[in-house]
Structure 1
């Protein structure tokens, strides 16, 4: 019984920590390729071009330093924005994690 309680607590803790802030994110299509159209609609800030493994795509750059701390893209929120923008992939990709 104690083991089940510990496992439940650990899974809850990881779910709480699953969302984080990042400088760059992009959406995916159902083939696992970057979805520039959905990313453009999901992005509240500027887009930047990036090439990785021979694939050139656009990603959303959303980072600003303020007096009250950094403002960045939430990976959980960006994933929802991708779905609302019509992305068919199961997730979004974010990089350059921001430490708060």
Structure 2
């Protein structure tokens, strides 16, 4: 029984913590995040990126767009991306969380 409880608690993110770039990648803070395509730049698609932040209890603060953007930036930087385009955000309340925000987009590398 204890193993089941521990497994359920191990995957969530606490929204009371201050978010910093988790991977420490120097390029992560330079990633451009756009909800549309970047029509003024030529780029190559590297692949999809997604992230999610959950609110643990009713007493925790609501997850923010900035928090999920950090997760996207870290993942895109690990792929060697310069930007994330066509980002879509979704938030709400789920069966196992008091609130969440998730984001999906496409990591891209600018053409020289």
Same fold (TM > 0.5) = no
TM-score, reference length from structure 2: 0.28
Structure having the higher helix fraction is 1
TM-score, reference length from structure 1: 0.30
